[in-house]
């Protein structure tokens, strides 16, 4: 249960090795979060993520459970959610899995394009529906969804990823409205370029940020029950201008 200071006691991280997700988890365990479920594909990487969280919690202790979760294995998603809630209430659930994919390949190879859309959008819906049901039944909690500014106005350079994030953003925003009055809060997070292993091969974009800065914004967003945040926050203004540029101008921008 989130205490009077707005500090969650338990966290479910779907995408348990995500750099942004783990930066958020570190912030929470450094405060009062004492139970974390890390769900992901690689048990060895998940266990070492658990050790990192134990170090961040010290001298307090944190109970870390590792769960197998593959976004592409849709039939397993409801059971993953059941297992995550079997250990007790989940105060914050963070959907942090995702792939950037290769845009040029996605334009030639439908399998690749569909995989990007399946991980970034379909899987988030597939796991998001049972997650929302479990949170609604519990009557409290925050569901945090890592969307992207890439979904606000998809660009030529990564429109397959952008299309998936646009779908995810619409789903999460609608879910937030559907859950109003249930005690459950949905936070849609729209970061710009974040320096993580997902973007390590790319030149940094203007207004690029760090996983730690995204974590700070998410922790505050959960505390104040915000519905949508941009990281950095100035991107809200930037995107509201970019969204309305004529296409002929927008497509010429070097972004
Ligand atoms: N970095 C950015 O610039 C940026 C900007 C805006 C939004 N975001 C979003 O933020 C989220 C986290 O990204 P990040 O920067 O933290 O990248 P990251 O460190 O590469 O994390 C991506 C996560 O997705 C997981 N994943 C990928 N495919 C999966 C699958 N089939 N099943 C289960 N898990 C899978 C990865 O697990 P493995 O370790 O098993 O690969 C990893 O935990 C993503 O949704 C991303 O789109 C990132």
DSSP string, the chain: ---TTS--SEEEEESTT-HHHHHHHHHHHHTT--EEEEEES-HHHHHHHHHHHHHHHTTS--EEEEEE--TT-GGGHHHHHHHHHHTS--SEEEE-------HHHHHH-HHHHHHHHIIIIIHHHHHHHHHHHHHHHHT-EEEEEE--GGGTS--GGGHHHHHHHHHHHHHHHHHHHHTTTTTEEEEEEEE--B-STTTTTSPPPTT-B-HHHHHHHHHHHHHTT-SEEEESTTHHHHHHHHTTS-HHHHTTS--
Residue 189 CA, ligand 1 centroid: distance in Å = 14
Domain assignment present for residue 205? The answer is: yes
pLDDT at 32: 92
Domain assignment present for residue 40? The answer is: yes
Q: Which residues pair with 64 in a beta bridge?
A: 36
Q: In this model, does residue 1 exceed pLDDT 90?
A: no
Domain containing 76: what range? 10-250
pLDDT at 254: 80
Residue 15 CA, ligand 1 centroid: distance in Å = 6
pLDDT tens-digit profile of 20-51?
999 999 999 999 999 999 999 999 999 999 99
Whether the CB of 70 sits within 6 Å of ligand 1: yes
| Beta carbons within 8 Å of 187's beta carbon, 6+ residues apart | 142, 143, 144, 145, 176, 218, 221, 222, 225, 226, 227, 228, 229
Report which ligand 1 atom has the smallest distance to the Cα of 161: 47
pLDDT at 214: 98
Whether the CB of 42 sits within 6 Å of ligand 1: yes
Mean pLDDT score of the chain:
96
Return contacts of 77-82, CB within 8 angstroms, 24+ apart. 77/123, 77/126, 77/127, 77/130, 78/130, 80/14, 80/39, 80/127, 81/127, 81/130, 81/131, 81/134, 82/130, 82/134
Q: Whose CA is nearest to atom 47 of ligand 1?
A: 98
CATH number at residue 215: 3.40.50.720
Select from 49, 183, 159 the least CA-distant residue to 104. Answer: 159
As annotated, the active-site residues are 161
Q: How confident is the model at residue 68 (pLDDT cuts 50, 70, 90)?
A: very high
Total domains present in the chain:
1
Domain assignment present for residue 3? The answer is: no
pLDDT tens-digit profile of 210-239?
999 999 999 999 999 999 999 999 999 999
pLDDT at 36: 98
Report which ligand 1 atom has the smallest distance to the Cα of 100: 47
Domain assignment present for residue 48? The answer is: yes
pLDDT at 83: 98
Best mutation site among 17, 47, 98 for ligand 1, i.e. most ligand atoms within 8 A of its Cβ? 98
Domain assignment present for residue 4? The answer is: no
Q: Whose CA is nearest to atom 42 of ligand 1?
A: 18
Domain assignment present for residue 2? The answer is: no
Domain assignment present for residue 153? The answer is: yes
Whether the CB of 194 sits within 6 Å of ligand 1: yes
pLDDT at 255: 76
- Residues 115 and 165 sit within 8 Å (Cβ to Cβ): no
pLDDT at 5: 59
Q: In this model, does residue 126 exceed pLDDT 90?
A: yes
Domain assignment present for residue 29? The answer is: yes
pLDDT at 4: 58
Whether the CB of 11 sits within 6 Å of ligand 1: no
pLDDT at 33: 96
Whether the CB of 198 sits within 6 Å of ligand 1: yes
Residue 226 CA, ligand 1 centroid: distance in Å = 23
- Residues 189 and 231 sit within 8 Å (Cβ to Cβ): yes
pLDDT at 178: 98
């Amino acid at each position: 249960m989130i205490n009077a200071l707005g500090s969650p006691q338990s966290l479910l991280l779907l995408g348990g090795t995500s750099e942004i997700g783990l930066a958020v988890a570190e912030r929470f365990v450094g405060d009062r979060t004492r139970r974390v479920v890390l769900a992901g594909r690689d048990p060895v990487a998940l266990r070492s993520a658990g050790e990192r969280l134990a170090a961040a919690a010290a001298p307090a202790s944190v109970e870390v459970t590792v769960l197998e979760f593959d976004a592409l294995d849709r039939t397993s998603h409801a059971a993953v959610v059941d297992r995550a809630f079997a250990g007790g209430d989940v105060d914050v659930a963070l959907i942090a899995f995702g792939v950037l994919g290769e845009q040029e390949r996605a334009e030639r190879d439908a399998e690749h394009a569909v995989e990007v859309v399946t991980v970034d959008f379909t899987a988030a819906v597939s796991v998001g529906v049972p997650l929302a049901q479990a949170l609604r039944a519990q009557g409290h909690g925050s569901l945090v969804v890592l969307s992207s500014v890439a979904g606000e106005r998809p660009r030529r350079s990564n429109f397959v990823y952008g299309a998936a994030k646009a779908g995810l953003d619409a789903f999460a925003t609608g879910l937030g409205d559907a859950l109003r009055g249930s005690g459950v809060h949905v936070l849609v997070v729209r970061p710009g370029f974040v320096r993580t292993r997902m973007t390590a091969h790319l030149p940094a974009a203007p207004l690029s940020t760090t996983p730690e800065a995204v974590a700070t914004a998410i922790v505050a967003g959960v505390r104040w029950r915000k519905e949508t945040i941009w990281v950095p926050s100035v991107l809200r203004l930037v995107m509201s201008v970019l969204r309305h540029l004529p296409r002929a101008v927008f497509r010429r921008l070097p972004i």
